[in-house]
């Protein structure tokens, strides 16, 4: 869910509010996603996820 919301214009705070988790938890999840997808940032992680069909629109 975090990865899907990262593909939107939502900030980490807004993602946290939508998922009822803290902004810091979202940041931690984001860092783990970057590591698992071997990407340096949010934009590249979303692109990699789209290419791997991990998220769709």
What pLDDT shows up at residue 44? 98
Q: Tell me whether residue 24 is in a domain.
A: yes
Average pLDDT over the chain, rounded to an integer: 97
Q: What is the pTM of this model?
A: 0.91
Q: Tell me whether residue 57 is in a domain.
A: no
Query: Counting Cβ atoms within 10 Å, is residue 54 exposed (0-12), middle (13-18) or buried (19+)?
Result: middle
DSSP secondary structure code for residue 19 in this structure:
H
**pLDDT tens-digit map of 34-55:** 999 999 999 999 999 999 999 9
Structural domains counted in the chain: 1
- CA 55 to chain centroid, in Å, comes to 10
CATH number for the domain including 30? Answer: 1.10.10.10
Q: Tell me whether residue 8 is in a domain.
A: yes
Q: Which domain holds residue 23?
A: 2-51
d(CA 6, CA 43): 8
**pLDDT tens-digit map of 12-36:** 999 999 999 999 999 999 999 999 9
What pLDDT shows up at residue 57? 78
Asked if 1 contacts 19 with a C-beta cutoff of 8 angstroms, the reply is yes
What pLDDT shows up at residue 38? 98
């Amino acid at each position: 869910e975090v990865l899907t919301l990262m593909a939107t214009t939502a900030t980490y705070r807004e993602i946290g509010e939508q998922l009822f988790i803290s902004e810091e938890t979202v940041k931690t999840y984001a860092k783990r996603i970057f590591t698992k997808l071997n990407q340096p940032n949010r934009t590249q992680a979303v692109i990699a996820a789209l290419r791997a069909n991990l998220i769709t629109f």
